[in-house]
Structure formats: C-alpha cells, structure tokens
Amino acid sequence: MIPRLVIFDVDGTLVDSQRQIHTSMTEAFLLQGHVAPELAAVLSIVGLSLPEAVARLAPDLPEGERGHIVAGYKATFNGLRAAGIAPLYPGIAEALQALAARDDLLLGVATGKSRRGLVHLLQAYGIEDLFVTRQVADDHPSKPHPSMLLAALAETGIAPQDAVMIGDTTFDIEMAGAAGITALGVAWGYHPAEALLAAGAGDVIASSADLMPALDALWDAVA
C-alpha cells in the first residue's frame, strides 16, 4: 500500500499565534519610527517568509530599513516565545494523533517559520515525531512558491496526486496548486473561507473534527 501525505501549515492552522505575530510586528515597526500596521494587515501576510511579509507591509521602505524591521521582529518574537508558546487550536492535538495512527498516511509540515521556531513549537507540544518531513523558511523561497511542497514530495517519495496541503491562507492554497497538490482550507485561521475557495481549495473545514472526513472525501473524489 502506497501511503498518502498530509502536509500542514503551522501558524493559523495548527497554532493560534496571532497575538505573538501582531505584537512582534508592531514593536518592530515602532522601534524604527514607523507607524505599525493594523492587525488585519498583519494577519493578511501570515504564512509568507518574514522578509517577504515585511516587504508587503512596507513596500515603500528601502530594503535596508526593512531588514532592520525583520531583525526587530525576530528579537521581539523570540522574547515572546520564551515567555510562552502559542496555543494549539481546539482538537488539533487529537486530530494529529489520529492521523498519525493510520497506516495509510504520512504527516508533514510546510511553514513560513524558521527551523528554530518550528522545532521549539513541536517539542513543546511533544508532537515532533509525528511529522516525517518538515519544510521551513530557512531552506525555501516564500510561499506561494511550490519549493516546500516539491521538497516534501521528493523526501517522502509521494506523488502529487497522493498528497494534500492543509492551510489557512491563500498562500498555502496557491502553493499547493503550483505543486499539483490538492488543497484543503481551514476556516479558523487568518484568511476568510471565500478567499481560500477562490484560490483553489477543494474544501474548507470548520473544525478539527471535520479533518478526517474531509480528507477521505477529497481522496474518494479523485480515486
């Protein structure tokens, strides 16, 4: 039996990190003497690599100035992370364990987080052993470039038609489309469900309890 690969985004999909992200971005802009972006603007760029996110939030700033904002964000975020980790969304831990227990599935991660940040998070929740492939911003272009997903497929030997990308942003959905992978959106994250469907999501689920049925339905549809 050839297993199937389920690849998860992290921020906005597995964990609710909006407080840490917004606080860090606000502090980073203010430290450089700039007006901080609104929460909605910050959430709109979650999922992108940090330099790309800052470039979208402040396209008129010189590259060097944006670099200072990136550095300020990292410093503030690291301090917040030391004080406490972002919470998992309700039911996520149980859903991941249930998926990992299936012989026909492999789990992976494709995230705009750094390797350091991802490892810290997974270890804190004791779920690092659930994921056979972990693709991070350190090694790839920013989403929606398909590099992360192509690397996950190559690492696991899974064909695109046997993989699903699960995420909360249009960047996740567009990345999946670029890699030839089916995408499943989640409605509890940072981009609205209508935007995820418009970007090409095969479905958008409302809760973690819907995850297993939605995956089975997606694969039944393409069988």
Instruction: Tell me which residues are annotated as active site.
Output: 9, 11
- Residue 37 DSSP label: P
| Nearest residue to 176 (alpha-carbon basis) of 220, 213, 135, 121 | 135
Instruction: Show the tokens assigned to 59.
Output: 């396209």
Compute the distance between CA of residue 92 and CA of residue 208 in angstroms, rounded to an integer: 6
CA geometry: angle at 24 spanning 18 and 28, to 5°?
145
Continuous H helices in the chain: 18-31, 39-44, 50-57, 63-83, 92-100, 115-125, 147-156, 170-179, 193-199, 211-222
- Residue 144 DSSP label: T
| Nearest residue to 207 (alpha-carbon basis) of 96, 91, 99, 125 | 91
Find the helix packing angle between 63-83 and 50-57, rounded to 10°: 120
